[in-house]
Structure 1
Amino acid sequence: MTLIDYSLYLVTDRKLLPPGKDYFESLEQSLRGGVTIVQIREKDTDTAEFLDIALRSKDLCDRYKVPLIVNDRLDIALAVQADGLHVGQRDMPVSVARKLLPANTIIGVSCNNLQEIEKAIQDGADYVGIGAVWATTTKDLDKPVIGVRGVGEMLQRLDGTSIKAVAIGGIKSQNLLRTLHGSVSPNNHALDGVAVVSEIMGSLIPEQAAARLSELISSFKRSGCIHKALSVSSDYSVTTVIDGVVDLLNCVRERSPLIHQITNNVVIAQSANATIALGASPIMATTVQEMEDLAKIHGALLVNIGTLVPTAYEGMMAAGTFANARRKPVVFDPVGVGASEFRKKAVGGLLNTWQSSVIKGNAAELAALAGSNEVQSKGVDSVGSGFKDPVSFVRNVARKERKHSISSSCCVVVLSGKIDYISDGTNVAVLENGHELLSKMTGSGCISGSCIASYCAAAMSKAQMAEEDQGKMVIGDMFLGAIGGILALTISAELAAVRDDVKGPGTFFPALIDELSLLSSRIIRERARIQIL
């Protein structure tokens, strides 16, 4: 069988053509733009008209050496000698179609869940169309939208097989990179392609639309990740980590990065003041219309779901998308995610839409994300003694999240508590600084997100400086950024708690702001209590 390039898979739909746009003109322009395979879909066309359209489409595709797949209609596929047939779950079974079609004909099948993937494997399909990944208006959906994270689970079942996989459903240039980065199995099984309908078929200039999508796919293949650490390896040591954190402290003070924070209404002022005390600059904006412009100028984004109202949620969705597009760090704090089904669904929607650089949470929040019952939540707090093996837990969660970004990239996970555990999926930093007064203060966890975002912005800033020097893309070290943000807060808390003017929680916060502003390289080196495992 000829090797098929599934990377940019066009599914036709004449209903989407702009007024006055000829279908065959649109198809040829799409082929010139970089479409690598075409599926002709005519659900409401009689046989004679479908045959004519398919014959002319096959002629065009042959000229550009691009395979033509016919949707559903085996008779049409046979009549035009199509390269393949695509069937749905209610269409002719793959096993029957295989007997009727010529040898080496490609057969694909639509799949929405693991059971359908299993059947496709048993029936001997050549490829599967997995979806719908996103909500779509081009097809009535009778099955749930699975999201990019759901695609990864289905790809895992294809490990060890020769079956190719194409994602379909609502894929456009705006979410294409997230689709590619997020749809990866734990064993690094990535998509072979993406199926696009409306962005090409609905375009007045389909050649440009296809070329734009093709370039994004090529960019993904070249870069391999969104937030790859400078050295995601086992080379970290206590000395190199503390040196790196000190470097980031100085970078925050020198560059004063703008930190965009969509955060809990209860702690907006405290978080802004903590950001300023560190040396960074806060902007607390939630309006969706501002998000694209803010992504151009901020150094990092913090998304905290403590106050989950519809307008803020829309802003979170857009802010993370634009931050990813501009390679800005995204720190995500899923506050109280285990408290309600509403929060769980909201978090699922956010994590399917954009990629986090750092996910920070207490034991209950991370347990909810991981689907573990080991720690329960009470509102935004954890209940129970914690994880039996927090080191393994945080490393495994980081590894799992890492697979939703792509095999070589890194999503750092921070497990906050009396002892803080931070992992990039390989290394685990164990931080033992802090003071119990932090737990007596509203929003201390939210403030730690501000600190992490400030240090991650510095890490990205340093990477961009290196990129300019080296002339190639370099991505900031989010592992160091997360460690630096936690150490800044916890060391400052220790110093604030023993001041003569601190009598309890009420006087602790002003002193904490003071100590954040006074934090120095010397203090970090003297007081940091850290292990690297």
Structure 2
Amino acid sequence: MPKAGKDIDYSLYLVTGRDLLPAGKTYLQSLEEAIQGGVTTVQVREKDADTGEFLEIAQQTIALCAKHNIPVLINDRVDIALAAKAAGVHLGQTDMPIAVARALLPPHSIIGISCTTSEHARAAIQSSADYVGLGAVYDTSTKDVSAPGKVRGVQGIREMLGVLEGSGVRAVAIGGVKSTNLLRTLHGCSSPTGHALDGVAVVSDIVASLEPRAAAERLSSTFGAWHAVPRAPSSFSSASAGYTSARVVEAAAALLSTLRRVKPLVHQITNNVVKTQSANVTLALGGSPIMAETPVEQAELARAPGGLLINFGTIGDLAGMLEAGHHANLNGKPVVFDPVGVGATAHRRQVSRQLLNTWQATVIKGNAAEIGTLAALDEVKAQGVDSVGGFRDPAAVVRLLARQERCIVLLSGPVDYVSDGTTVLKLGNGHELLGQITGAGCILGTAVAAFCGASSMASGDLGAGTLVKGDMLIAAAAGTLALTIAAELAAGRSEVRGPGTFLPVLIDELAALTEEKILSRAKIEVEA
């Protein structure tokens, strides 16, 4: 058997559940196929079996897993682990204390424990647990998680991972994890400093499958691809790309031409106040708008290249938002999230958490109150959908939230800030009339989604090597520059006499925007 503790590969941790087996699959047949597909650790969980049956299942499991050099842990029962000569046990918060289990088990046995709070994680460190199971990430039918606080979401798992950092205690996420949400789980659970999960615990996605080997292979390949990329804070850094103010401006200008060439479909689930002007802005920039909220449409729409904007200003079809982001993630489509007025009500905060626990945002765009709410800062107060005041250090705030959510963050205001977690772009264009029309922030989200969609569709380098396909930091900056530069040009037109005449001319200027106008007018500072 493998060595215990830190040498164990927890990456694909299978928790058994014989009651979930489909017709025609025996327990040992399913288990062996799952191991062939990439399972690296097995926990035998038998909640309803008597002692004799539990011991027999444990012995059969250990005999099979020994052929593949896979460690077997026993859920709850130290006596079964001893009798079956298992590699260790997994304990719950109300089970035998770790110190007592450690005294009973052979030296070097693995002991893990379930944690649902940061306090549990701290106690696990103090008790010298080898690993912890953090959860529940999502709702699950294999365990009762109906009590308040039992479902933690990726943000709760991330918080517990932060507690574990530097302790040497390994961590797996458990609870509703499956191939369709694994990427979001891995992205969202990583701590702001890059501390990532050591594995994911899976039950039904493998055990209930008629093809457990294929199910395990999907999970294993996704986890392997994720872990092949460094997760230190430097992985956020744009410094390796050599960003300078001039290069960002050139790249943004080049991306405007790309947008008009590839004409991305910009799918927008947005608030009722701005649908018409958002569609017009999309057309003016060169994209193709579609406003579709019905959940049943989302899988098909996500297969079309382009970008997705989810703006919950009037919190319409939540089910559509959940499905749209989920399917966009599956298809590698950029997702721009605009949490309008998230700080105004508890309901908006709850919906925001639900969305960010379901899919991975590519860009989060908001004003100071909205960004502050998501970053759990109280420097700026919300007044409806507006902000009161600003941050003392906005660059630090956007860096913080970008690292927390592992995405690009755009803070809109008199000066706009865009960050990937390390590099910050400070954008100085704009005009006060933008703040005097309804939905200016919403159409900024539209512009960013259009440029992100264009970037995802680009092929190779653009603009003599200034822009690489999929550079969403540049895309977010380009969308911001397009709107703010067009606003300056519109405000200077003689026919504009105030906000009522400003909006239609703004759309005209977006349609007339050129690379040359961006190159000559853009105001950017780069902080690395």
Which category describes the TM-score, using the shorter chain as reference length? over 0.9
SS of the residue corresponding to residue 348 of structure 1 reads helix
- Summarize the Cα distance change of 1:239–1:491 in structure 2 as closer, same or farther, 3 Å threshold: same
Of the structure 1 ranges 98-107 and 158-167, higher mean CA displacement relative to structure 2 is found in: 158-167
Distance of 2:37 and 2:477 partners within structure 1:
45
Matched AA of 1:377: A
RMSD over aligned CA atoms reads 1.9
1:266 partner amino acid: V
Structure 1 residue ranges (4+ consecutive) displaced by more than 6 angstroms after TM superposition: none
Q: Quick check: 1:231–1:477 contact (8 Å CA) kept in 2? A: no
* Pair 1:314-2:329 in alignment: no
Alignment of 1:443-462 (within 5 A): 443-462=439-458
Instruction: Please report how far the alpha carbon of residue 21 of structure 1 lies from its aligned counterpart in structure 2 after TM superposition.
Output: 2.5
1:100 equivalenced with 2:92 (yes/no): no
In the comparison of the two structures, how many residue pairs are matched? 514
Structure 1: where are the runs of 5+ without partners? 403-410
Which runs of structure 2 are paired with 1:8-407 in the superposition (5 Å)? Answer: 8-141=12-145, 142=147, 143-223=149-229, 231=238, 233=240, 235-309=242-316, 312-384=317-389, 386-402=390-406
Alpha-carbon distance in 2 for matches of 1:221, 1:17: 30
Summarize deviations over 1:121-173 as a string: whole Å, max 9, x none.
Answer: 11111111111011101111245211112212211222222211111000111
1:413 maps onto 2:409 in alignment = yes
Which secondary structure does the structure 1 equivalent of 2:507 belong to?
A: helix
Name stretches of at least 5 consecutive residues in structure 2 with no aligned partner: none
Separation in structure 2 between the aligned mates of residue 23 and residue 105 of structure 1, nearest angstrom:
25
Question: Is the CA contact 1:129–1:166 (under 8 Å) kept in the aligned structure 2?
Answer: yes
User: What is the deviation of 1:425?
Assistant: 2.0
Which letter does structure 1 place at the counterpart of 2:193? Answer: N
Aligned AA (2:429): N
Alpha carbons of 1:231 and 1:387: their partners in 2 closer, same or farther (altered >3 Å)?
closer
Query: Contact (CA 8 Å) 1:230, 1:477: kept in 2 or not?
Result: no
- Asked if the contact 1:229–1:475 (Cα under 8 Å) also holds between the matched residues in 2, the reply is no
Q: Paired residue for 1:408?
A: none
For 2:517, the equivalent position in structure 1 comes to 523
The residue matched to 2:303 in structure 1 has which SS?
Answer: helix
* 8 A contact 2:192–2:400 mirrored in 1: no
TM-score scaled by length of structure 2: 0.94
CA distance in 1, matches of 2:212, 2:396: 49
- Indicate how the Cα distance of structure 1 residues 223 and 160 shifts in structure 2: closer, same or farther if over 3 A, else same: closer
Decide whether the 8 Å contact of 2:271 with 2:311 is kept in 1. yes
Give 1:406's aligned residue: none
1:495-518 per-residue CA deviation (whole Å, 9 max, x = no partner) reads: 112222222222211111111000
| d(CA) in 1 for partners of 2:516, 2:455 | 20
Partners of 1:83 and 1:332 lie apart in 2 by 45
CA distance in 1: counterparts of 2:518 and 2:168, whole angstroms: 53
**Structure 1 position 415, deviation (Å):** 1.2
- Return the alpha-carbon distance in structure 2 between the equivalents of residues 475 and 202 of structure 1: 39
Q: 1:21, 1:204 within 8 Å by CA — same for their partners in 2?
A: yes
Go from structure 1 to structure 2 and tell me whether the alpha carbon gap of 1:229 and 1:298 turns closer, same or farther (over 3 Å shift): farther
Q: Distance in 2 between matches of 1:277 and 1:269?
A: 12
Is residue 2:510 matched to residue 1:506? no
Q: Distance in 2 between matches of 1:395 and 1:513?
A: 32
CA distance in 2, matches of 1:85, 1:133: 21
CA distance in 1, matches of 2:250, 2:283: 23
- Secondary structure, counterpart of 1:414 in structure 2: strand
Letter in 1 for 2:319: E
Please say if residues 234 and 427 of structure 1, whose CA atoms lie closer than 8 Å, have aligned partners that are also in contact. no
189-198 vs 388-397, which moves further = 388-397
The alpha-carbon deviation at position 443 of structure 1 amounts to: 0.6
Alpha-carbon distance in structure 1 between the residues aligned to 2:118 and 2:76: 22
CA deviation vs aligned residue, 1:161-202 (integer Å, no higher than 9, x gap) = 221111100011100111112111223211111110001111
The normalised TM-score by structure 1 is 0.93
Mark the CA change 1:413 to 1:64 in structure 2 (over 3 Å): closer, same or farther: same
Contact 1:9–1:193 (Cα < 8 Å) also in 2? yes
- Cα offset, 1:289, TM superposition: 1.1
1:224: how far off? 5.8
Give the whole-Å Cα distance in 1 for the aligned partners of 2:393 and 2:89. 50
Q: Does 1:423 align with 2:457?
A: no
Q: Which amino acid aligns with 2:225?
A: S
- Pairwise CA distance, 1:387: 1.4
